[in-house]
Chains A and B, each alone.
Chain A
Amino acid sequence: MSATMSTTPPQSPGYQLPKEHYLNATYGIRSWLLTTDHKRIALLYLASVTFFFFVGGIFATMIRIHLLTPQGYLVTPETYNKLFTMHGVAMIFFFLIPSIPAVLGNFLIPLMIGAKDVAFPKLNLLSWYIYITGGCFVLYSFATGGLDTGWTFYTPLSSVYSNSAVTPAILGIFINGFSSILTGLNFVVTIHTMRAPGMTWFRLPLFVWAQYSTSIIFILGTPVIAITLLLAGLERMFHLGFFNPALGGDPILFQHLFWFYSHPAVYIMILPAMGVVSEIIPTFARKPIFGYTFIAASSIAIAVIGFFVWAHHMFLTGESTYAALAFSLLSYLVAIPSAVKVFNWTSTLYKGSISYDTPMLYALGFIGLFLIGGLTGLFLACLGLDIHIHDTYFVVAHFHYIMVGGAVMGYVGGLHFWWPKITGKIYPEFLARLAAVILFIGFNLTFFPQFILGYLGMPRRYHDYPPEFQVLNVMSTAGASILALGYLLPMLYLTWSMRYGKVAGPNPWPATGLEWRTPSPPPTENFEVTPVVNWEPYDYKNRPDLGLATPTAPTLAPAHGDD
Chain B
Amino acid sequence: MSEHIVSPKLYLLIFLALMVLTGTTVYAATVDLNHYYRGLNVIVALVIAACKALLVVLFFMHAYYSSKRTQLIIVAGVFWLAIMLSLTLGDYASRSWDVH
Contact = CB atoms under 8 A, between A and B. Distances in A.
Interface of A: 220, 224, 252-253, 256-257, 260, 307-308, 310-311, 319-323, 326-327
Interface in B81-100: 83-84, 87-88, 90-92, 94-95, 97-98
Contacts of A322: 90, 94, 97-98
A321 B87 CA distance: 13
B77 A220 contact: yes
Contact of B90 (A253, A307, A323): A323
B59 interface: no
A323 B84 contact: no
Nearest to B79: A220
A220 B95 CA distance: 28
Contact of B83 (A252, A253, A307): A307
Given A220-B76, A220-B77, A307-B80, A256 B88 contact: yes
Nearest to A325: B94
Contacts of B94: 320-323
Contacts of B80: 220, 307
Interface in B54-77: 76-77
B25 to A, nearest CB: 22
Q: Which 9 A-B pairs have the closest CB atoms?
A: A323-B91, A322-B94, A320-B94, A320-B95, A256-B88, A220-B80, A319-B91, A260-B84, A320-B91
Given A220-B76, A220-B77, A220-B80, A308 B87 contact: yes
Contacts of B83: 307-308
Given A257-B84, A323-B90, 5 more contacts: A220-B77, A320-B95, A322-B97, A323-B87, A323-B94
Nearest to A260: B84
B19 to A, nearest CB: 27
Interface in B16-74: none
Contacts of A311: 87, 91
Contacts of B98: 320-322
A522 B94 CA distance: 58
A interface secondary structure, majority: helix
A169 B97 CA distance: 38
A338 to B, nearest CB: 20
A252 B87 contact: no
A225 to B, nearest CB: 12
Contacts of A308: 83, 87
Given A308-B83, A320-B97, A253 B76 contact: no
6 contacts: A257-B88, A260-B84, A307-B80, A308-B83, A311-B87, A322-B97
Nearest to A310: B87
A253 B91 CA distance: 10
B58 to A, nearest CB: 21
B44 to A, nearest CB: 22
Q: Residue among A220, A308, A323, A327 with the most chain B CB within 10 A?
A: A323
Contacts of B84: 224, 256-257, 260
Nearest to A323: B91
A512 B87 CA distance: 44
A321 B94 CA distance: 8
B91 A252 contact: yes
Contacts of A253: 88
A326 B90 contact: yes
A256 B87 CA distance: 9
Contacts of A321: 94, 97-98
A207 B87 CA distance: 31
Contacts of A327: 87
Contacts of A320: 91-92, 94-95, 97-98
A40 to B, nearest CB: 28
Contacts of B90: 322-323, 326
